[in-house]
Amino acid sequence: MKVLFIGDVIGRPGRLFLKSLLSGIVHNRSIDFVIANGENAAGGFGITEKTANELFAMGVQVITTGNHVWDKKETVQYLFSENKILRPLNFPPDVPGFGSIVFNLKNGLKVGVINLIGRVFMNLSDCPFRAVIPEIEKIKKITNIIIVDMHAEATSEKQALSYYLDGKVSAVVGTHTHVQTSDEKILPYGTAYITDVGMVGPMVSVIGVQVEQIVRKFLNQIPQKYDVAKGSCFFCGVVIDIDNQTGKATGIERLLVNE
C-alpha cells in the first residue's frame, strides 16, 4: 500500500494550496491512505473542528498534531470525541484525546498511526521511547502497518527513535521544524524514515509566520502576535510504500511542490 504523509499545514494559505493539489496527488500516485500534521491549520496555531473538517473533506484521513494542539481552547473538548485527530501519546495520561488510532480502509487494510512528541528543546512530556512500545504491541495484534509521527525539534532525538523502532513500525516521520530534510531512507530492518517532512505553507516566511514579525522578535525580544505569512506556498510530503503483510517499508519518496 501507499501512504502519503503531509507536513504541517499552515493556516488558510496552507489549507487552500493543499486543497488544490491533494486529489491529483492521491489519484496520480495511487495513494491508499493520507495523514497530515494539522497542529497549525487554524490561523497558524492550533486546530479547530471547522479546519479539521476542511482537511477531512479534501481527503486527509488522519490528522496528527504536537505542541500546538491546545492553542485553540475549544479543541480540548473536541478531542474527547474526534478520534481521527491525534494528540501526542506521551502527553500526561489524563488529558483528552487519543495518541493513536487503527484506521480501517475501504479496501480492508488496517493502518495504525501513533503520534509522539519529543523532549529535547521542547516542553516536558513523558518519555516517547518508553511510551511507544506498549502502544505498538497493542496495535500489532490488529495490523503490522504502523506509521509514527515523531513531532520533535532535535534531529538526534528523531534519528534515535527511528533506529529504536526500526523493524517494529513501517515508518517514523519527523514533524515540527517545518523544514523538509533530504535524508529519507529505509533503515536496515525495514522502517522508512525522514527527519522532517516539512510543511504546506507560505514560501516567504519563517516556518510559516510573517518574516518581519519574527525578525523583530529576535531583535527586541518583546512578545507579540504572530500572523501566517502571505504569498505563494509550497507543499511538502512523503509517499511511503509498505508491504501489506509484513508492514515493512519498501520505499520512501520525498515530495516538494511549489505553487
Contact residues toward Fe ion (CB under 5 A) are 66-67, 176
CB of 217 to Fe ion, least distance (A): 17
**Distance in angstroms (rounded) separating the CA atoms of residues 44 and 199:** 12
Report how far apart the first and last C-alpha atoms of the chain are (Å, whole number): 28
Nearer to Fe ion by Cβ, of 26 and 43: the residue is 43
CB of 76 to Fe ion, least distance (A): 17
**Distance in angstroms (rounded) separating the CA atoms of residues 17 and 80:** 29
- Which stretches of the chain are DSSP H helices? 11-28, 49-58, 74-78, 128-140, 155-164, 211-220
**Distance in angstroms (rounded) separating the CA atoms of residues 214 and 140:** 43
Nearer to Fe ion by Cβ, of 158 and 176: the residue is 176
153: its cell numbers: 525539534
Catalytic, 151? Answer no
Nearer to Fe ion by Cβ, of 66 and 201: the residue is 66
Nearer to Fe ion by Cβ, of 72 and 176: the residue is 176
What's the sign of the alpha-carbon dihedral 221, 224, 226, 229? negative
**Distance in angstroms (rounded) separating the CA atoms of residues 200 and 13:** 8
**Distance in angstroms (rounded) separating the CA atoms of residues 257 and 235:** 5
CB 84 within 8 A of CB 102: no
CB of 97 to Fe ion, least distance (A): 16
CB 88 within 8 A of CB 116: yes
Question: Which among 68, 151, 176, 178 is annotated as catalytic?
Answer: 68
CB of 24 to Fe ion, least distance (A): 27
CB of 108 to Fe ion, least distance (A): 34
Nearer to Fe ion by Cβ, of 168 and 176: the residue is 176
Q: Which residues are catalytic?
A: 68
